Structure formats: structure tokens, C-alpha cells
Structure 1
Amino acid sequence: MLVFTILVKLGLWQLDRAAEKQALQQALTLKQAAAPLDYQSLLVLAKRGSLTGYRLEVQATPVDAPIILLDNQVYEGHVGYLAYQVMRVEADAPLLMVELGFVDSGLDRQKLPQITRMTQTVTLSGRVYQRASNPLSQHLLPEVGDPMRIQNLNLTELSQQLGMPLAPAILQPEAIPGGALPHPWLPIPMSAQKHQGYALQWFSMATVFLMLMTYLLIFKRKNKESSENK
């Protein structure tokens, strides 16, 4: 009964996770349907909850900072980096990290890719996101240089490393002048459908286990009755 109970609870836990993901997806849909935010509105909303999915339109100017390469990213079966550039939106506001896109790392990890950066003030429109922290590995672990390779997108530590205040979200533009890198979008790492599929697997295992235990119990009773009759 203990094993059966554990399997059922695991299935129920996956159903709960599926419900959470459905709620997140609905919230993302509403954010995408809303009008684009201005920068000050985004900074105000940062104090209230998740910014992922909001649309943002800004006029941004490059600043003197290295290109940031987030390591160990995967896109369409290729391993590489997500490249970012630091931009200024307003004079006295935190700087904005803008995603330049995914770039393949190549075979030689000692040679970092050279990224074409924006050099002029541009108008950018797109959606913003915040990366979920990994409790097993969340520190920046920077390799200082230009570009600067980091292991986790810890904006607090990156701000300290650069000596610049950074906004708590990243802009993924719909288009960058002169840029052609792809922009992966995965705001919810695992869909509600996958959680439902895992729940079905746990419930199936619980059912098979219960049927097996029932069969063994009946078989044991029959053997006991046969021994008594003899």
C-alpha cells in the first residue's frame, strides 16, 4: 500500500504542476495581448511580480560594456551561447540587457565567437523575460573579457561585476538592425501537457502495481487453501 500511495501522490503532484503551468500560460497570453509597456512602467511592475511575457518598446543606446555570452544553451540540437548587449534607455534608470540571439559555440571552446554589436541608438520592440534561478547552480562564474562568458544569468552578480545597475529583466527584440541571430523563446521550460503525460505514467504504474499485488494475493490465498485441503 505504501508503494501504491507514493505512485498515486506522484501522479497528483504532476497534475498540480500541470495546473500551475496552465495558469502561467494564460497569464503569458494576457501579457502578450496587452499594449507594449514603456520603460518606467516595466520597472514599476518589477516590484509586483514576474515580468516574463510583457511587451516592451524602447529607444536604446549602447554603453561601454562587454558582450555577455551565457554558456551551455541549446537551440535546435546545437550547443552554444545566448549573446547579450547592455543598453541605456533612460539617463537615471537601470541599464537594460538586450538579447542579441543564439550563436553556436563551435568545436573549440577556447575560442569565443565574435558578436556584431549595436553601435547606434535604435528603437527596439519585443518581449521581456526573467530567467528562473537554478538552486544547484546560480552564480555568475564570469570569465572576464570581451566577450564575457558566464555560466548563469544572475543579474544581481552581473551588475556587481560590471559596476552598472541592471534592470531585472531582459528584452528579446522582434528584430535587431543588421542582426540575424535566432531568438529562442521558452518562457515555460515544461508544458502542462508534459506534466499531464507524466501524471498518466504514474497513475498507470500505480494501476499495474495494484493489479500485480491483487494477483499475488489471490494466488497466495489459493495456495493456502490447497495446502489446507490436503
Structure 2
Amino acid sequence: MAHPRVKVNLAWLFIVLSTVMVFSILVKLGFWQLERAQYKAAWQQELTARQSSSVLGYTDLLNFPQDEPLTGYKLQVAVTPKSSNIFLLDNQVYNGRVGYLAYQALQVSDTQPWLLVELGFVAASLDRSQLPQVQPISSPLNLQGRVYQKQLNPMSSELMAEEGQPTRMQNLNLLQLAQLIGKPLATAVLQPNNLDNSYPHPWQPIPLSSQKHHGYAVQWFSMAFVFAILIGYLLFRKLKKSYGEQSNKAIANDT
């Protein structure tokens, strides 16, 4: 049978290890948020520089390396509608309203991949079975705007396209969408600024700004500080109580 003192020492060892582990996790989360803030700040500077750069042609866009992000570049391209099919990206929010981002795949030339063009945000009906009717591009146009690439969620990146027109989809998976329409697609989406329609075009290439990450870092560091103070206070009370009990026993033994 284990000695009571051994049990007490094991309990204290567990408490100390748990405290160090929790404190380390909180501090690491704070530094991780600082790293994300630094990355977002650099990315914002890059986006600003791209908006100030010259307008790309479609061939220029296609010739970019596959591993280079294209978000923020300006593009001018002539497109021809060979299909009026509309694709609705589900679960989008704009100005507090829930809805869809509407897209249409358009031909650029006979030898190049098609281009997916964002037609804009369309509010959703309260009835999920009723999809909004979106006016497609019906004649050749010379479009200009900026391109973007949505980051796929590793937990849910499948297209999950439903049957019918317009086609509701859960993720903007360009590879799977290309397979669905039977045409190759460029790896970026064009958000035009000269479309003659009333649909708004949300632009949020950076979901969380560097300021938000700095705020989260302060929260994690604050939690680590408060946790350390709380554990220190509890340990102080425990040691004080233990010292008092030992002093009382010593006085009792002397008498």
C-alpha cells in the first residue's frame, strides 16, 4: 500500500505538470496569433501593391506559376457566354444578409481554359427550396476587374453540387466544377467591376485582419497571465496552510 506522503507528492507533481502544460499552450497560442498578424500584414501590403500594378491579360494570368497565389491582380479579358448555367455558392453573408455568390463559366478562346466570373451576391429566400433567379451574361463582353482564389477548407472542400439550375454548391472547388461542366477552368475567379447588373461584389481577401490577430494574441497572453496568478495564489494558500499545520504539530510536540 502506497505511503500517504508518496500519494501527496504524486498529486503535487500532476498539478505542477498540468499547470506548466496549460500555461505553455496559452503562451504558444499567443505567439501563433502574433505570427498570423505578421503574415496578414505582409499579405495586405502585397495586395495593395498588386492593385497598383499594371492590368494583366488572360495569357499572363495563365502563365503564372501554379504555386503562386493570384488574388488581387487586375485582369482584363474578353469573354463569350457559351452556357447560361448559373452556380450559387451557399452560406455567404453580406451586410448582415445571408445568401449566395453567383458565378458563370465563360469562354475566352477555343484553346484556353474557361474563366469563372463572379456575377455578385444574391440574397437567399427563407425557403431553402427556392433558389434565386440570376440574370446571366448573355452576350460577348470585355470584362475588367480583380481576380481571387478562395482557400479550400481542409475539413470540407468538396463541391457538393446539387442538381438543377441554378446549381447550388457548398464550396468553390474549381477542379471539381471543371469536371462538372466538362470544361477546363482557370485557377482564379474574376470579380469584374464593369458588369451592368445590380448585384454587389463583396471583397474580403483577408478574412481576419492583422489587428484582429493582435487582439487575439493579447487575449491569449492575458489568459496565461491570469492563469499563472490564480495558480500562484492557490499554491501560496496551500503552502501557507501546510506550514501552519506543521507549526501547530511542532508546538504540540514541544508541549
Name the TM-score, length of structure 2 as normaliser: 0.86
Among 144, 156, 180, the alignment partner of 1:161 is 180
SS at match of 2:105: strand
Tell me what 1:173 maps to: 192
Q: Does the alignment pair 1:205 with 2:223?
A: yes
Q: Does the alignment pair 1:81 with 2:100?
A: yes
Tell me what 1:196 maps to: 214
C-alpha deviations, 1:155-210, integer Å up to 9, x for none? 10111110111111100011202x11000111111111111111111100111111
2:84–2:138: 8 Å Cα contact kept in structure 1?
Answer: no
Matches of 2:117 and 2:247, distance apart in 1: 81
1:91 to partner: Cα distance: 2.6
Which runs of no fewer than 5 residues in structure 2 stay unpaired? 1-19, 249-255
1:18 to partner: Cα distance: 1.2
Higher radius of gyration, 1 or 2? 2
2:84–2:136: 8 Å Cα contact kept in structure 1?
Answer: no
Tell me what 1:106 maps to: 125
Tell me what 1:23 maps to: 42
Among 58, 61, 80, the alignment partner of 1:39 is 58
Q: Does the alignment pair 1:217 with 2:235?
A: yes
Letter in 1 for 2:154: P
Letter in 1 for 2:160: L
Matches of 2:130 and 2:23, distance apart in 1: 53
Structure (1 or 2) with the greater helix fraction:
2
1:46 to partner: Cα distance: 4.8
Which runs of no fewer than 5 residues in structure 1 stay unpaired? none
Tell me what 1:132 maps to: 151
Letter in 2 for 1:208: V
1:119 to partner: Cα distance: 1.3
Name the TM-score, length of structure 1 as normaliser: 0.95
2:50–2:72: 8 Å Cα contact kept in structure 1?
Answer: yes
C-alpha deviations, 1:4-47, integer Å up to 9, x for none? 11111111111111111112111111111101100000001152
**What percentage of residue pairs aligned between the two structures are identical?**
52
Tell me what 1:2 maps to: 21
Matches of 1:143 and 1:2, distance apart in 2: 46
Count of residue pairs brought into register by the alignment? 229
